[in-house]
């Protein structure tokens, strides 16, 4: 292993891992000492172990705030979804897990397919700056996105304002469906959110190390093991090889 990678990824002697607390599939709990528990924190711990250093967790309430801190000497690696806008300041690995994103529509909706939703006059509730919000911002041609902070608030907006659709990760929408009588979740997906690890773009050796580590973690079964350990089997999917 390159000592340059260790120097870039753990300049303080400890790997500072940026963790997004809003993804309930990747952060499933909290330890007695307050540290986050889940697939993402365990991936960060495995990276630190490979580097031969300790790990500390730097938590953020949203992925957008984690991404905003890139290059500010707050975290050394960040575990969030890879997106072109974020990649301007973060060197991402390939994904280690994928999460399907789709729409929930209210009872009586005429929408039957994903592509039906992008139509004039359609209003879609979405969690501001989530990876799927960034994707829809780039790709929708006709529908309007109505943004609020976090999926719970987006769900309430969808219900209270009687919007035409709610964009979200399929597992989260499945949980919310019970609270929206008659609502349907559309088959298929408009994208699959690519959860990855990243570091500052200046960290060339560190970025190369992370890319290799993620591919090894998928191939060795480590990612699948963590998914099972934290009870999210079938909700998180191991990403294909890079």
Among 242, 241, 239, residue whose Cα is nearest residue 97: 239
Domains of the chain: 3-97+193-238 (3.40.190.10), 99-191 (3.40.190.10)
Name the average pLDDT for the chain.
96
CA distance 64 to 128: 8
**183 pLDDT tier (thresholds 50, 70, 90):** very high
Counting every residue written for the chain, the total comes to 242
Digit-coded pLDDT (tens) for 71-93 = 899 999 999 999 999 999 999 99
Mean pLDDT throughout 17-43? 96
Cβ proximity of 54 and 14 under 8 Å: yes
Residue 1 has pLDDT above 70, yes or no: no
Digit-coded pLDDT (tens) for 137-161 = 999 999 999 999 988 999 999 999 9
CA distance 137 to 219: 33
CA distance 223 to 153: 30
CA distance 182 to 106: 7
Cβ proximity of 82 and 200 under 8 Å: no
Cβ proximity of 137 and 130 under 8 Å: no
Mean pLDDT throughout 202-214? 97
Residue 2 has pLDDT above 80, yes or no: no
């Amino acid at each position: 292993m390159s000592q340059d990678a260790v120097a870039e990824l753990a300049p303080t002697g400890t790997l500072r891992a940026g963790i997004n607390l809003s993804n309930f599939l990747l952060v499933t709990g909290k330890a007695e000492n307050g540290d986050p528990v889940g697939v993402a924190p365990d991936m960060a711990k495995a990276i630190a172990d490979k580097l031969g250093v300790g790990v500390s967790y730097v938590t953020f309430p949203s992925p957008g705030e984690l991404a905003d801190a890139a290059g500010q000497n707050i975290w050394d690696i960040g575990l969030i979804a890879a997106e072109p806008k974020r990649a301007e300041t973060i060197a991402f690995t390939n994904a280690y897990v994928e999460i399907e994103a789709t729409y929930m529509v209210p009872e009586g909706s005429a929408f039957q397919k994903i592509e039906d939703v992008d139509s004039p006059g359609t209003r879609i509730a979405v969690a501001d700056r989530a990876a799927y919000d960034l994707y829809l911002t780039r790709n929708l041609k006709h529908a309007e996105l109505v943004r609020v902070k976090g999926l719970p608030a987006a769900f309430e907006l969808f219900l209270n304002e009687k919007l035409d659709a709610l964009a979200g990760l399929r597992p989260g929408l499945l949980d919310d469906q019970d609270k929206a009588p008659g609502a349907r979740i559309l088959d298929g997906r408009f994208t699959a959110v690519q959860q990855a690890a990243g570091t500052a773009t200046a960290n060339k050796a560190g970025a190369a190390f992370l890319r290799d580590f993620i591919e090894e973690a998928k191939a060795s079964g480590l990612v699948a093991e963590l998914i099972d350990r934290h009870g999210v089997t079938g909700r998180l999917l191991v990403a294909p090889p890079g």
